[in-house]
Amino acid sequence: MPVAASSALDDLASWCRFSSAVRRRGPYGLRKWVPDHDGYLRDEFSAGELPAHFSDGAAEVALREVKEVIGDRAFCLRNARRTALMLELVRLRLNRCDDEFAYSRDIRDCLEAGGPLGRQMTIRDRKGHPSLRP
Question: Would you give per-residue pLDDT tens digits along the chain (134 residues)?
Answer: 566 778 888 888 888 888 888 888 888 888 888 888 888 888 877 776 656 666 666 677 777 888 887 877 777 677 788 788 878 888 888 888 888 888 788 888 887 887 665 555 445 556 666 665 55
Angle of helix 80-94 versus helix 57-70 axis, rounded to 10: 120
Domain co-membership, 85 together with 104: no
Residues 92 and 108 in one domain: no
In terms of domains, do 88 and 105 share one?
no
Contact 4, 18 (CB under 8 A): yes
Structural domain of residue 90, as residue ranges?
57-96
**Residue 37 belongs to some domain of the structure:** yes
Are residues 36 and 69 located together in one domain of the fold?
A: no
Q: Residue 47 carries which side chain, given as an amino acid letter? A: A
Total number of domains in the chain: 3
Residue 92 lies in a domain: yes
- For residue 69, give every residue at least 6 positions away whose Cβ sits within 8 Å of its Cβ, in sequence order, or none: 89, 90, 93
Q: What is the pTM of this model?
A: 0.36
> How far is Cα 88 from Cα 104, in angstroms, rounded to an integer?
16
| 52 part of a folded domain | no
Residues 20, 41 within the same domain: yes
